[in-house]
Amino acid sequence: MGEPIIQMRNIEKHFGSVIALAGVSLDVVAGECHCLLGDNGAGKSTFIKTMSGVHKPTKGEIFFEGKPLHFNRPRDAISAGIATVYQDLAMIPLMSVSRNFFMGNEPLKKIAGISFFDHEFANRVTMEEMRKMGINLRGPDQAVGTLSGGERQTVAIARAVHFGAKILILDEPTSALGVRQTANVLATVDRVRNEGIAVVFITHNVRHAMAVGDRYTVLNRGKTLGTAIRDEITPEELQDMMAGGQELAKLEGSLGGTV
């Protein structure tokens, strides 16, 4: 692997007396899918919000492309090339795919000195970018609300890539999808990785992580349990780490093997 595009070193995040992150370290290399796994409450959401500029770390350092990084707001992270696709996707269902695709980055053209939304350009780019991701829309004016969950995820991913993402953070992108839609999203992740973009894939689903991941970092109660390379760990071992295998083993022993 090459040099990391982003390094998170000994990140701590405190909310008053609550310690959400207690010294988490992670690095991500361009062109890899680094899966961040953990059960609910493990600290995954806090960690990615720290990476994407929503939270400032209480302690620790962040390096981006070898330089110390200090974000004052999420817009700074986006400008640097760190894009996050959250579960809610931040889309307007009744609005067309092309308008959602360019929301906040509207292309304009001038007619008689007055600026208008450039529908022709937006429609053409949207269709091209969606085709690259394996999605053939009926048309760019199709309402986002008529798309499947997997297709909406793909729109959000394609939008981030088009606007220059160097690191793409995906927050539980397959959690509410069926089997076919999940397969489509995982295929999209693979395409993005092959373009040289670093992907941070947050999930609690080991099968989905094993399908696309190159490396896996497991969080538990705000701490890193370890990072493993794809060929060095089995799905069963990864699941065991995630579920707190040692704690379960102790409990099983105390209960006489009934767990």
CATH of the domain at 66: 3.40.50.300
Angle (CA) 240 242 245, round 5° = 40
DSSP 130-190: HHHTT---S-TTSBGGGS-HHHHHHHHHHHHHHTT-SEEEEESTTTT--HHHHHHHHHHHH
Question: For residue 74, what pLDDT band results from cuts at 50, 70 and 90?
Answer: confident
Number of compact structural domains in the chain: 1
Containing structural domain, residue 65: 4-92+162-254
Tokens of 157: 């991913």
Per-residue model confidence (pLDDT) at position 34: 95
Instruction: Could you list the beta-strand ranges (E) of the chain.
Output: 4-15, 18-29, 33-37, 59-64, 67-68, 82-85, 108-111, 114-117, 167-171, 198-203, 215-220, 223-229
CB contact at 8 A, 48 and 171:
yes
Residue 34 lies in a domain: yes
CA nearest neighbour of 115 among 124, 106, 123: 106
Q: Could you identify the residue written with the tokens 């999930």? A: 203
Which is higher by pLDDT, 128 or 177?
128
- Residues comprising the chain, all counted: 259
CB contact at 8 A, 137 and 97:
yes
Per-residue model confidence (pLDDT) at position 83: 92
What mean pLDDT do residues 212-222 have? Answer: 91
CB contact at 8 A, 35 and 186:
no
Mean pLDDT estimate for the chain: 87
Residue 148 lies in a domain: no
Residue 101 lies in a domain: no
Element (H, E) at 52: none
Is the predicted pLDDT of residue 255 greater than 80, yes or no? Answer: no
Per-residue model confidence (pLDDT) at position 257: 55
Residue 46 lies in a domain: yes
Is the predicted pLDDT of residue 9 greater than 60, yes or no? Answer: yes
Residue 150 lies in a domain: no
Per-residue model confidence (pLDDT) at position 240: 83
Residue 108 lies in a domain: no
Per-residue model confidence (pLDDT) at position 251: 47
Residue 222 lies in a domain: yes
Question: For residue 254, what pLDDT band results from cuts at 50, 70 and 90?
Answer: low
Per-residue model confidence (pLDDT) at position 221: 86
Q: What percent of the chain has pLDDT over 70?
A: 93
CA nearest neighbour of 88 among 5, 151, 156: 156
Lowest mean pLDDT among 3-7, 199-203, 226-230, 242-246: 242-246
Residue 244 lies in a domain: yes
Tally of CA atoms within 13 A in the half-sphere of 250 that contains its CB: 5
